[in-house]
Amino acid sequence: MKLYDSRRAPNPRRVRWAMAEKGIDDIEIVQVDIMKGEHRASDYVARAGLANVPALELDDGTAITESIAICRYLESLYPEPNLFGRNPREMAEIEMWIRRTEMMLATPLMLSVRHAHPALAALENQVPEVAETNRAAAVRALGVFDRRLGESAFIATDRVTMADIIAITGIDFSRMIQFAPPAEFTHVARWVAAMRARPAAAAGM
């Protein structure tokens, strides 16, 4: 298998982080420079189907895009440590928090960066109001996650799951625009420190 990766983008980092948590080291990594437009090259689009990273190319030539779909596929091949749930209840709860982290936190933070960081003007028709609105939405969402993390060591359950990986990679990406969770969210701060201390955090960079 081959993983088409981009070191500068947050969604490929989700996959790298999940791979590091699982100790997966037998997938070839192919770098795609999105700042040079390599993800838009005809051969890449023909292979992946979209001008997006990451993409996982299977041995039979099948391409899987979308970071969560890739991680679910990898979970089926490398089931431990479990990131998506061990039983129906866990699967549903983790999926709930995956959706919340994606829609309420990670996507707003990524949109904030894409519409505010000067270097990304080469990739995005930047609208400052989009950046501001999404930054404010992310701060509101952090209040939800702070309450949750006051009840649980990690977002979805008592261990790291895909929901935590989605959230931390979004927060880390937002450092490009000097965003940090407000200090009053003390439970988020504890969780961020714990996630950044994991060996997989370095591997995911």
pLDDT tens profile 126-167: 999 999 999 999 999 999 999 999 999 999 999 999 999 999
Residues with Cβ within 8 Å of residue 122, at least 6 apart in sequence: 35
Helix (H, G, I), strand (E, B), or coil: what is residue 196? helix
- Does residue 81 have a cis bond before it (omega within 30 degrees)? yes
For the domain made up of 2-77, give the CATH fold: Glutaredoxin (3.40.30)
Average pLDDT over residues 100-120: 96
CA dist 203 and 183 (Å) reads 27
Q: What is the structure's pLDDT at 204?
A: 67
CATH tag, 88-199? 1.20.1050.10
Structural domain boundaries of the chain?
A: 2-77, 88-199
Identify the CA nearest to 204 among candidates 145, 164, 148, 155. Answer: 164
CA dist 159 and 175 (Å) reads 25
- Residues 20-76 pLDDT 10s: 999 999 999 999 999 899 999 999 999 999 999 999 999 999 999 999 999 999 999
> Could you give the percent of the chain with pLDDT greater than 90?
94
